[in-house]
Amino acid sequence: MDAMSTGTGADVGGQEQLTMRGGRAVRQKPKGRRRGRRAMLIALGQLGVVLLILGLWQLLSGRVIDYFLISNPVDVVKKLVDVLGESEMHRNIMATGQELVLGWALGASTGAVVGWALGAVRIVGEIMEPILNAINGIPKVALAPMFLLWFGLGIGSKIAIASMIVFFLVFFNVYSGMRSVPQPLCEVARAMGGSRMFVVRKVVLPSVSVPLFAGLKAGVSFAMIGVIAAEFISADEGLGYYSMTSTQQFDPSGLFAALAIIVAMVVAGSSIIGVFERRALRWQRN
C-alpha cells in the first residue's frame, strides 16, 4: 500500500463545506446582535428588580415593619463598611473561610474518589448505593450536635459537617456520571487499539467531568450551609457566630452585613470553580 501522501481527491465534498460556511456566516451576524440586545435587557431587568427590593426595604423599614427586625439597606451598607475595617471581622471571615475551603475540599475529594470507585466496580457500587442513599436521607445539619461531640467545639466539627454534605453531593454526581459514560465511545476507543488507561483518559474522565464540575460548584454553597449551621450551634468565631450574636443583640444591620459577606464568599468560590469548569468543558459551549 502506497504512502497516503499525494492528497488527490482534495476536492471531495468541497461543495458542502462552502455552503455550510456561507450559511453560517450569513446567519451569525443578526443573531449575535439580537443576542446582545437581549442580554442587555436581562441585565437591566435584574438591576431594576434589585433596586426595587432595596427601595421597598428602605421605605418599609421603621414604617410598616419594625426597624430592629430588618434594619435598612443604608444602615447595612454603613455597618458593612465599618466591620470590614475591624480586625474582629477579619478573624471571623478567616475562620469561616478556612472551614469552608477545608470542608469543601475534603468532601469533594472523598466524594469524587468514592463515586469513581463505586462507579468503576459495579458490584460494590450496587451494594453500596442504596445504603449511601439512605444515609443521605438524614438531614446532615441534624448531625451537627453529634459532630460537635466527636470533633470538638473548634474548626474540626465545622469541617466535618461541611465535608459530609459536600461528600454526598459530589459522590452522587460522580457515581451517576460513571454509570452514564457513553459505552459506544468506550468501544470505539478500544477498537482503535486503546488501552484501558487510554479509555479512562479519553472517554471516562472527560465525560464524568461534566457532573463532577456541577457538583463541585454547587458544593460551595452547600459547604457554607454546613459551616454556618455548625457555627450557630457552638463557636467563638466565624460569620455564623457573628450573625448569631448580632441577632441576639438586636443588631439586624450586623446580621445583614454578615449575610452579605457570606453570599460574597459563596459567589467568589463558585466563580473560581466556574473558571476551571469553563476551561475544562470548552467543548460544551457554543
Partner 1 sequence: MMKQDLNVEQPAVILGDLSHRFVTPSGEMMDVLQDVSVTVREKEFFTVVGPSGCGKSTLLNIASGLLQPKSGTVRRLKGDRELEKLEIGYITQDSNLFPWCTVLENIMMPLEIRRVPKRERADRAREWLKIVGLEGFESHYPRQLSGGMQKRCSIARTMVYEPEVLLMDEPFGALDAITKATMQKTILDLWQLRQTSVMFITHDLTEAITLSDRVAVMTGRPGRIRRTVDIPLERPRDVFNITDLEIFRELRHELWNLLETDLES
What does the binding site for partner 1 look like in residue numbers (CB under 8 A)?
Answer: 1-2, 4-17, 20-21, 184-185, 188-189, 191-195, 198, 202-203, 206-207, 281, 283
Query: What ranges make up the beta strands (E) of 46-186?
Result: none
Closest CB 26 distance from partner 1, rounded Å: 16
Contact 239, 258 (CB under 8 A): yes
Q: Which is nearer to partner 1, 58 or 207 (CB)?
A: 207
Q: Which is nearer to partner 1, 207 or 245 (CB)?
A: 207
Closest CB 172 distance from partner 1, rounded Å: 22
Give the residues across from 46 on adjacent strands: none
- CA dist., res. 241 & res. 82, Å (int): 18
Query: Any idea which residue has 469513581 for its cell?
Result: 116
Question: Which residues have C-beta within 8 Å of that of residue 112, sequence separation ≥ 6?
Answer: 170, 171, 174, 212
Q: Which is nearer to partner 1, 29 or 285 (CB)?
A: 285
Q: Which is nearer to partner 1, 17 or 248 (CB)?
A: 17
Question: Which residues have C-beta within 8 Å of that of residue 259, sequence separation ≥ 6?
Answer: 243
Residue count of the chain, please give it: 286
Closest CB 126 distance from partner 1, rounded Å: 20
Closest CB 282 distance from partner 1, rounded Å: 8
- CA dist., res. 54 & res. 73, Å (int): 6
Q: Which is nearer to partner 1, 102 or 189 (CB)?
A: 189
Closest CB 192 distance from partner 1, rounded Å: 5
